[in-house]
Amino acid sequence: MAEEETSLSGVSGAFRQVLFISAGASHSVALLFLSFVVILQCSLLHGGYDWLTASGNIICSWGRGEDGQLGHGDAEDRLSPTRLSALDGHDIISITCGADHTIAYSLSNAEVYSWGWGDFGRLGHGNSSDLFTPQPIKALHGLRIKQIACGDSHCLAVTMEGEVHRRETTKEESLTVKRTEMPLIWGRNQNGQLGLGTTEDSPVPQKIKAFQGISIKMVAAGAEHTAAISKEGALYGWGWGRYGNLGLGDRNDRLVPEKVSALNEEKMNMVACGWRHTISVSVIGGLYTYGWSKYGQLGHGDFEDHLVPYKVEALADSSIKQAILSDNSSASNMQTARVIMISGGWRHTMALTSDGKLYGWGWNKVENENKLSLVYIFEIHSPILNSGEITPLNMPYHYIASVCFLIH
């Protein structure tokens, strides 16, 4: 009796959904959910066809590949999104680009992978070697990661650590587990952007001792500065401060994290870094920017640097209200569209609101060659909406990732 043989004869019904996009200085990476139906042609013994469904996350990369940042095992550029097969089946749930390197995280494998330009130890492998394919960072193996952020040549990972606390009472003894969100950081440190109290590079992840006992909610990395928000809503800045991008009221560098005190106790909910400026959003929806403003990227209608957080009035609640129409429309049907996502580029800034509108401001040379700067906010209607769902976006430096052609 001949053995049964099965061969792949076709793929139909493919469905793609863009989950996340991140852009470096000259490369881009996208995380997609792929679901498809595989048609199987069986042997003549059984006859006919059968089918099965398959799904999973895949990574595509494109752009400049000279330093291995695309992860395809060579230094070739890619002019269109190319599937990164080395991470197929690894259950990748997040991707982040530095200037010339890339990081991905697998939840099920509890692994953080990095590849690309390795100078200054930015890949976290204990050396400065370039990597042309994804490799796991040994120091982060087995850790549960909440968030990863990359600057030009340094990176952070917010880990979820469990601490067992013993509590004794007169009747019984109980154990509780307290979760502490602790940031680990590595890479270049010439301006103190690692927050370790020195200016020495670190080729392996290290804990930021200044945050001992402080649970960190979110982190962000600029070219050479870093920001963080604690679980209690406090905003911190450290590293290169020449343009006031730390929000501490001066132009000095900081070698350790320092709390931003110019917010009148207003608690922060989100933070993002551009190359030399910082953006934060408060829990009540206020959008603040500070730092370098040569191209109007702070959105305050001028080109002046701001050394402390300054509210962007053009996106104040009163200016982005939306009417919810009903049979008897009235003032009570007015709802406020809140800022739900922020991102900073080299010379521009973007903000996404809950009504699906994307706002941008700063350098606008690509749109209008006769106008180098746009200091007031212009509105872009939903260029990254995918079937009614928002696609997260990260744009560290020169541009916003071109995602429209990926979304059908």
| Domain match, 271 and 404 both | yes
| Domain match, 207 and 132 both | no
253 within some domain: no
Mean pLDDT of the chain: 80
Residue in 309, 278, 277, 307 with CA at minimum distance from that of residue 294? 277
| Domain match, 138 and 74 both | yes
Domain that holds residue 161: 154-239
**Secondary structure E strands in 117-200:** 131-136, 145-150, 154-168, 173-187
The total domain count for the chain is 3
Lowest mean pLDDT among 149-153, 166-170, 204-208, 219-223: 166-170
Residue 385 predicted with pLDDT over 50: no
63 within some domain: yes
Residue 390 predicted with pLDDT over 90: no
DSSP character for 66?
A: T
Lowest mean pLDDT among 24-38, 49-63, 328-342: 328-342
1 within some domain: no
| Domain match, 17 and 80 both | yes
Q: Work out the average pLDDT over 384-394.
A: 37
| Domain match, 69 and 207 both | no
Residue 402 predicted with pLDDT over 50: no
Question: Residue 275 maps to which CATH number?
Answer: 2.130.10.30
At which residue do the structure tokens 């640097």 appear?
305
Who wins on pLDDT, 227 or 3? 227
| Domain match, 311 and 331 both | yes
Picking from 142, 173, 191, the residue at the C-terminal end of a domain is 142
Residue type (1 letter), 370: N
pLDDT at position 404: 26
For 314, the 3-state DSSP assignment is: helix
8 A C-beta contact, residue 121 and residue 127:
yes
| Domain match, 18 and 127 both | yes
pLDDT at position 279: 97
Residue 406 predicted with pLDDT over 90: no
Buried b / exposed e along 145-174 (16+ C-beta atoms within 10 A): bbbbbbbbbbbbbbbeeeeeeeeeeeeeee
| Domain match, 404 and 270 both | yes
97 Cβ contact list (under 8 Å, min separation 6): 22, 23, 24, 27, 28, 29, 69, 103, 150, 394, 396
Q: Tokens representing 77?
A: 């550029």
Q: Tokens representing 337?
A: 């569209």
251 within some domain: no
* Confidence at 304, pLDDT banded by 50, 70, 90: very high
Let me know if 367 is exposed, middle or buried by CB neighbors in 10 A (0-12, 13-18, 19+): exposed
pTM here is 0.80
Phi, psi of 185 (to 5 degrees): -145, 150
Picking from 89, 115, 142, the residue at the C-terminal end of a domain is 142
For 96, the 3-state DSSP assignment is: strand
347 within some domain: yes
Residue 289 predicted with pLDDT over 50: yes
| Domain match, 337 and 217 both | no
Torsional class of 196: left (φ above 0), alpha (ψ -120 to 50), beta (otherwise) = alpha
pLDDT digits (tens, 9 = 90+) for 343-352: 999 999 999 8
pLDDT at position 316: 77
pLDDT at position 37: 56
pLDDT at position 356: 84
Sheet holding 287-291, edge to edge: 268-273, 277-282, 287-291, 306-311
41 within some domain: yes
Question: Can you give the C-alpha Rg of the chain in angstroms?
Answer: 23
Who wins on pLDDT, 174 or 215? 215
Residue length, the chain? 408
Picking from 110, 142, 174, the residue at the C-terminal end of a domain is 142
85 Cβ contact list (under 8 Å, min separation 6): none
pLDDT digits (tens, 9 = 90+) for 347-384: 999 998 888 888 899 988 754 443 333 344 444 432 23
| Domain match, 272 and 404 both | yes
Q: Tokens representing 37?
A: 């139906």
Torsional class of 369: left (φ above 0), alpha (ψ -120 to 50), beta (otherwise) = alpha
Residue in 300, 317, 309 with CA at minimum distance from that of residue 361? 300
Residue in 157, 197, 160, 199 with CA at minimum distance from that of residue 178? 160
| Domain match, 233 and 271 both | no
Who wins on pLDDT, 170 or 159? 159
At which residue do the structure tokens 């997609």 appear?
32
Who wins on pLDDT, 9 or 271? 271
54 within some domain: yes
* Confidence at 54, pLDDT banded by 50, 70, 90: low
Residue 264 predicted with pLDDT over 90: no
170 within some domain: yes
| Domain match, 291 and 221 both | no
* Confidence at 226, pLDDT banded by 50, 70, 90: very high
